[in-house]
A and B are shown apart, each in its own frame.
Chain A
Amino acid sequence: MTSIKLRAVVALFGLALVCAAQAQQAAAPKKAATQTKKAANSSPSAIAAEFEKFRDIMEDASPAELFEAKGEELWKMKRGPKNASLEQCDLGQGRGVVKGAYVRMPRYFADADQVMDAERRIVYCMVTLQGFKEADLAKKPFSSGSHTPDPVSLVTYVAANSRGMKIAVPQKHPREREAFNVGKEIFNYRAGPWDFSCDTCHGESGLRIRTQDLPNLTSKKEAIAAFQSWPGYRMTGGLMHSLQWRLNDCFRQQRFPEPGYVSETISDLMTYLGVNANGHVYKGPGIKR
Chain B
Amino acid sequence: MEPGTDRDEGTEPTLDADFFIRWLDAAAAAVARDADRLTELDAAIGDADHGSNLNRGFAAVTRRLTEKPPNAPGAVLTGAGRTLISSVGGASGPLYGTLLRRAGKELGDAPRVSRVQLAEALRSGVGAVAELGGAGGGDKTMLDALQPAVEGLTRSFGAAATAAEEGALATVPLRARRGRAAYLGDRSIGHQDPGAASSALLIGALADTATRAADDDGHRGNGADRV
Say whether A associates with B: no
